[in-house]
Structure formats: C-alpha cells, structure tokens
Amino acid sequence: MTKEKQVIETSEAQIAVHWQEEEYFHPSPTFIGQANLTDESVFERFSLDNFPDYYTEYAELLTWYKYWDEVFDASDAPCWKWFKGGLLNASYNCIDRHLKKNKNKTAIHFVPELETEPIQHITYQELYVRVNEFAALLRDYAQLKRGDRATIHMPMSAELAISMLACARLGVIHSVVFGGFSASACADRVVDSNSRVLITMDAYYRAGKLLDHKIVDDEACQISAEQGQKIDKMLIWQRYQGKISTKGPLIEGRDCIINQKLKHYYGKRIEPEKMLSEEPLFLMYTSGTTGKPKGCQHGTGGYLSYVTAMSKYIQDIHPEDVYWCMADIGWITGHSFIVYGPLALCASTVIYEGVPTYPDAGRCWRIAQDLDVNIFHTAPTAIRALRKVGPDEPAKYNYNFKHMTTVGEPIEPEVWKWYQKEVGKGKAVIVDTWWQTETGGFLCSTVPGISPMKPGSAGRGVPGIHPVIYDEDGNVLPPGSGKAGNICIKNPWPGALQTVWGNRKRFVDTYYARYCKNPDSKDWRDWPYLAGDAAVEAADGYFRILGRIDDVINVSGHRLGTKEIESAALTVLEVAEAAVVPVAHEIKGKEPDLYVALKPGFQASDEIAQRINDAICNQIGKIAKCRKVWIVPDMPKTRSGKIMRRVLGAISNHGDVGNVMTLANPEIVEEIKKMVG
C-alpha cells in the first residue's frame, strides 16, 4: 500500500480511536423469552469444522421442489455454487406457500406519503393474484422468459415488490435501479444488463410534491438506445389507478400502461418456474473504485436461504410481526429486508413512499403507532436526522418496538444511545448489522437473543460467518491488538454475490485477489473475501467498522464511487481536472466535496460551479450532489503529477494537511486553504 493511502486510513482510524470502549447493553428477558434464536450452541454448530454443511439449516427454512445434490461446490473457485441441483422458486417461497394458512394476512402495508390517502393493506391472497397477473403480462405481452433481464426503475410502492416477485416467478432476472437515480444512471444499468424491458411508474410523492418519474425513463430509453441497447417495452404502473400522472407522451408500440393492460390477464395464474438454486435471482449495481458500477449477481437458493435466516435469527421476525424497514427497495437492504426476507417468513412488511420527516418530525412514529409496527430498521443517517428535527417526538406516540436495526455506516455511540433510549424507549434490542450489496445479507451483528450490544460496534460474525483482520502483508491482527486492518471473511457463505455480471475477472480481482495465495486453488480456505472496509477487532471479538479503504464515499449509508463523480464533472467543457474528497456531515455521515481546475483561458464563476453540480445530479442523481464545488487555480500534486486527494481532504475537513513540502506546488495548498476557510 502506498504512503498516501496509509495516511487516509490513519485519519479514518483516528476518528474511531476517539471513541471510548463502550459499556454493554443487555437484551431484556422479555425479548429473550420470545426470540427465535437463544441457543448459544449455534456458534458451535456453525464453526468452521462443520463448514459447509451447517448452511443446510438455513436452506431448510425454504420450500424446495427438489433438494440439492451438493451443499457446496467449489470446482469453479471463487465462483461458489450453493445447494447445487436444488430446485425452488423465490416467488413461491414468498407467497404461495403461505396461502393455505395465511391468505388473509397482510403481506404489504403500503403507506402513501400524503396522510390524507389511505394506507393499502395487501393480503397474501391479493399479492398472489397481482403477482400472477403481472407475471402473465410480462410473459405474454413483454415476451420475457427465464434468464432474461428486466430493469425496474421505480419509486417505493407495492407495485415495485409485485414487479420483482413477478419476475422471480418467471425466472426473469430483475435489476432494480434506485428510483432517485437519474436517466443516465438508469441507462448505464439497462445497457450493462442488456435489458429490453423497463418497468416504471408514472409518478410518486416526495416531500409533498408529485414528481413526474416516467419522463426520466423516456430519457433513459433514449440514452440506452444511443449506447446500443434498445428498450422494446416500457411498462408503466399508474400511481393513481385510471389516471395518467406524467407529461411524457406514450410512445406507440413501446409504452404500455400496466393497469389498463392487466385487464387482459384477469384471473391468469402462472406456474412458478422451477429454478436451479444457482440460477440468478437478480442483479444489483453498486459503486466501486473504477467508474462503472458493478452488477452484483445474486443466486436464487443461496441468497434466499441466507436472507430468510438473517431475517429470522438476527431481525427476529416472526410471522405475526409488523416489520418496517425504512430503506429504499432500490438498494440491497430493501431487496433483502423489505421484500425477500420478511415475505419468505410470512410477516407483514411496511413500504413507505416518502420522506421520513414529511410532513413533520412525528411522521415515522405515527406510522409505527397506527400499524403497530414492532420491528424497525433504518440507517444512522435517518436516525441523526430524526434526532435533529424531533428529539422528543418518539415519546409522544404509543408504539412498542421489540427490535431495531441500524445499517449502512458506522453509528456514533451518542446517536446509538439516543436511538436506544428515545426511539426504542429503552426496551428494544438493537442490532448494528455490517454487510454490503455484495454479501446479500449480514456479516457482523450481535445475535439479539444471545449477545449483549455495544454502541458503535457491529459485533462478531453472525452464525456461520468467520471474519478476520489482515494487515497489508496478510498477517492476522488478533483481537485486542488495537490496530486497524482489512476485514475479510474466511469462508464462503450462501448470500454472497456469485460474480460481477458479465465480468468474472473484475469479480475475482475486486474481492478475492488481494489475499489469495494460489489463484489455481479449488480449496475455499485459500480464498478469503475482501470486504474493502477497515476495521478493528476488540478483545471481546466485536468488530468496529471504520470505513472504506477504496475510493468510495459513503453518503447517507450508500456508496458513491469518487471516479463516477469525477467523470461526471469532467463532462463539463471547462473542467480540466477533478478530485472528490469526503467531508464530514452532521446527518449524512459523509458528503462529497469537489475540487476542479479549469482548462487554460477559462475564468472561475458560480455559473460554472453550478453547471458542474448539475452535471453530477443529472448523470448520477441528487444523492451525489456535492457540498461545494471549489474551482481552484491548480491541484496540489506530487512531483510525478498525482493529485494529492489526502491534502484536499484535510483542507475540506479542517484537518492537518501534514508535510506538503515534497509536493510539486506546495504554495497552492495555502491558497486553497484560504479559499475553503
């Protein structure tokens, strides 16, 4: 590792070192009394000696048409196959198998953002009917079949879950793109996955406004066509049944209003495809070090077994629970823990359309009270926002959480304690779940019915996951060493991505090459998974995650590639060079700060800065909006011409820039410092 990287890491680690070792919090006897997992012998059963067979316990939570021939196949290392030869269908497991006993039970509570609109309570029977009819439309009208990809670019809605489950029923690989992503980000994903069908919705509510969404996808179709991928069919759900809420024209032959077309499929039932366990269920794109997002490919049997087990044992979901995860279904958290996990367990899952603090700071707690939510799941960024706008709001409402999750970024112990005391009313257990888009489900977390919680630490590996921290040379940093290193997982697990869509080399290089001693090995022990996070392991074996080791900025719990932002900035004519650095933000955790140098002959102006930020929002989405675009006369550079992001990062965060005398242009540092203040 280069000198430069080490310095960045130390500064991340220093933030964490300021945190004291925290006291344990213990789960209440009431919680333990009803928990799904309280038997400590689970860790023994799930020890490495019993790998891979222990994972059959997870697979047995599902209903299979045919059991697997082999639990784990390593012959194509590190593209592992789980439950090989087994046959199942995800939509069957999330719907059909519950009908006999629970058809009248609510599967989905859809909560519109406007409080004047009624909440929709969709039973398992209704979900069954709607998924079947839409699957018939996908098959017979859109001509989709097993193995095809379909891109879904939709807001939070019941129809989004219905679309995913309809794809799963047919064996169509869905690729859901976060609804807030721009046309261009959506088009990139359409092109990479070769989708010829795009499923969308005309409009949705966000912060009190009805946003036209379909017009974004008109542009996405145009951009993807320019890149050689034509969308034959755009399928459009209506936010208001029977009413068109978009200004976009309906393109003859391409566009179809789903709600109208569905009439032709009334009463249709589609036999679920019997999928091989290792056939892909979906793709989910995520940012990496290089510009292009990676399509993480998740398999059917492994992924579904894993998320079902995590939902049951770590989130403690019982069929009678009302479970609310506030993430967006467009991210992995929503896939695993709004749709697949809770529905596989026959729980009632809440889908909320809008902003957590709309129209006021009490909104979340009213939803929780009205639906009697007892399991709540969100990210530190939302917790910080709720704490800021309404620290005393939770106490005003009469809800009762038994369990709460935090996910997506490190949580400050102070914020954790507010969450525990105010939101959880001192009664709910908390799990701090560390994982990634790539991992399908949790890696580290406490088991809520067994282990105590420690604010700011995720905990040990969940049953079956065996983490380890390596230093740069591959030596193990033992528990309690006080040193930060690269956290890796020693063993494969069923929830892990199978590969990067269409790019096996990138898959191996990104996640396995770093600590693999023998690339020809077929032994899983030779292939530790590199998560890409720095972490420390305390003496008690609890892991504290410090942040990314690559060029990724975690904004509000989501990964943005710095290269993606920089390339967007470079599309503005005047820009010669661009560098993005993370800057601490009270609510979002981190925010990108952008430094640019202009080509000779151009003068800095607010107008140019605005155009740069607009380009970023247009090409990626508002989530990537930079705090500030600093137009600097020159970038601080090494003698070999490398931009010193570390120096820029220190300036943005009012930190110590360190020794800059070895730079090619040390004087520029003072100048930029004055500018940023």
Is residue 401 a contact partner of residue 412, using CB atoms and an 8 Å limit? Answer: no
CB under 6 A: which stretch of 20-28, 178-186, 529-537, 578-586 binds ligand WT7? 529-537
Q: Please give the span between the terminal C-alpha atoms of the chain, in angstroms, as a whole number.
A: 31
CB 541, CB 531: distance < 8 Å: no
Closest residue to bound ligand WT7 by CB:
437
Kindly report the length of the chain.
677
Closest approach of Cβ 602 to ligand WT7, in Å? 36
Q: How far is the CB of 555 from ligand WT7 (least distance, A)?
A: 10
Which among 629, 620, 579 is positioned nearest to 292, based on CA atoms? 620
Region near ligand WT7 per CB under 6 A, out of 79-87, 123-131, 406-414, 478-486: 406-414
Which lies closer to ligand WT7 via its Cβ, residue 214 or residue 558? 558
CA 79/CA 524 separation, integer angstroms = 10
Query: Three-class SS of residue 545?
Result: strand
Q: Which is nearer to ligand WT7, 236 or 329 (CB)?
A: 329
Distance of alpha carbon 649 from alpha carbon 630, whole angstroms: 12
With CB under 6 A as the contact rule, the residue among 437, 486, 491, 619 that binds ligand WT7 is: 437
Distance of CA 365 to the CA centre of its chain: 24
432 alpha carbon, distance to own chain's centre? 15
| Interacting span for ligand WT7 (CB under 6 A) from 211-219, 428-436, 461-469, 585-593 | 428-436
Comparing CB distances to ligand WT7, the nearer of 130 and 384 is: 384
- Dihedral in degrees, nearest 10, Cα atoms 236, 237, 240, 244: 10
Is residue 407 close enough to count as binding ligand WT7 by CB under 6 A?
yes
Rg, the chain, Cα only: 24
Helix (H) or strand (E) holding 313: helix 300-313
Choose, by CB under 6 A, the member of 51, 265, 401, 435 that binds ligand WT7: 435
**Least distance between ligand WT7 and beta carbon 432 (Å):** 5
DSSP string over 15-72 = HHHTSPPPPPB---HHHHHH-S---TTHHHHTSGGGTTGGGHHHHTTS--SB--SEEE
User: Of 507, 531, 528, which Cα lies nearest the Cα of 516?
Assistant: 528
Nearer to ligand WT7, 286 or 374 (CB): 286
Q: How far apart are CA 180 and CA 621, in angstroms?
A: 6
Q: With binding defined as CB under 6 A, does residue 410 bind ligand WT7?
A: yes
Residues 248, 272, 280, 408: which binds ligand WT7 (CB under 6 A)? 408
What burial class does residue 601 get, using C-beta atoms within 10 Å of its C-beta: 0-12 exposed, 13-18 middle, 19+ buried?
A: exposed
- CB nearer to ligand WT7: pick between 462 and 531: 531
Site residues (CB under 6 A) for ligand WT7, limited to 543-582: 545, 547-548, 554, 557-559
Kindly state the DSSP code that residue 470 receives in the 8-state scheme: E
Q: Which of 278, 321, 409, 566 binds ligand WT7 (CB under 6 A)?
A: 409
- CB 437 → ligand WT7: shortest distance, Å? 3
Size of the site for ligand WT7 (CB under 6 A): 24
Q: What is the DSSP string of 595-614?
A: EEEEPTT----HHHHHHHHH
Binding mask 251-290 for ligand WT7 (x = CB under 6 A): -----------------------------------x----
**Is 177 or 608 the residue whose CB approaches ligand WT7 more closely?**
177
Tell me, what amino acid is at 14? Q
> Any idea which residue has 């939570």 for tokens?
61
Q: Pick from 195, 308, 381, 436: which binds ligand WT7 (CB under 6 A)?
A: 436
Q: Is 297 in the site for ligand WT7 (CB under 6 A)?
A: no
Q: What mask, x for binding ligand WT7 by CB under 6 A, covers residues 305 to 344?
A: ---------------------------xx-----------
Which residues within the stretch 24-43 sit at the binding site for ligand WT7 (CB under 6 A)? none
Name which of 218 and 316 has its Cβ closer to ligand WT7.
316
Residue 277 vs 333, nearer CB to ligand WT7: 333
- Give dist(CA 268, CA 484) in Å, integer: 57
33 CB-near residues (< 8 Å, 6+ apart): none
Rounded Cα distance between 656 and 646, Å, is 10
Q: Which is nearer to ligand WT7, 171 or 456 (CB)?
A: 456
Is residue 432 a contact residue for ligand WT7 (CB under 6 A)? yes
Name the residues that contact ligand WT7, by CB under 6 A: 286, 332-333, 407-410, 432-437, 458, 531-533, 545, 547-548, 554, 557-559
